Amino acid sequence: MALINDRFNVSDIIGDVGESVQIVDKSSVTYNTRGDISGATYTYVNGTGSVQLMTAEDIEVQEGILKPQDIIAFFDYNDSSVFRSYLKVGNIISGSFYTTASSSEYEIKEVIQNPGHYEVHGSKL
């Protein structure tokens, strides 16, 4: 009997069309008296995922779940546990997804643990 995670495994898809992504974890944030960030500790971890850029034609945008230029990224459940531990709301996904000139950055807004993979929604910064 196959495990349910095997039925929803995205490792083959990520292996075929995945791209390198970097997760930026912002912790130990301090604020000044005006409420601006005055300091933070950043941790950078690298992994591979499949990133989809949303357009006005996508159903998630039409239903109001996401906005145009937001992303949905898929990450293999079997990726390193260190990488997975940084998939959390408020962290940043960074990479050259649709442009070679510069890196794009997206703030993680939602992390959904599905059988076999993680689905991450991000908003462009």
Predicted pLDDT of residue 1: 41
Is 4-124 assigned to CATH 2.40.10.270? yes
Q: What is the 3-state secondary structure (H, E, C) of 3-66?
A: CHHHHCCCHHHHHHHCEEEEEEEEEEEEECCCCCEEEEEEEEEEEEEEEEECCCCCHHHHCCCC
DSSP annotation of 80 reads: -
Q: Are 87 and 23 in contact (CB under 8 A)?
A: yes
Q: Are 124 and 70 in contact (CB under 8 A)?
A: yes
Measured CA to CA, the distance from residue 85 to residue 66 in angstroms comes to: 24
**How many CB atoms sit inside 10 A of residue 51's CB?**
21
Measured CA to CA, the distance from residue 74 to residue 26 in angstroms comes to: 21
How many Å is the Cα radius of gyration of the chain? 16
Query: Per-residue pLDDT for the chain (125 aa), expressed as one digit of tens each?
Result: 445 545 666 777 777 777 888 999 988 888 999 988 888 888 999 888 888 889 999 999 999 999 998 999 998 887 776 788 899 999 999 887 665 555 689 999 999 988 888 899 999 88
What ranges do the domains of the chain cover?
4-124
Q: Are 106 and 70 in contact (CB under 8 A)?
A: yes
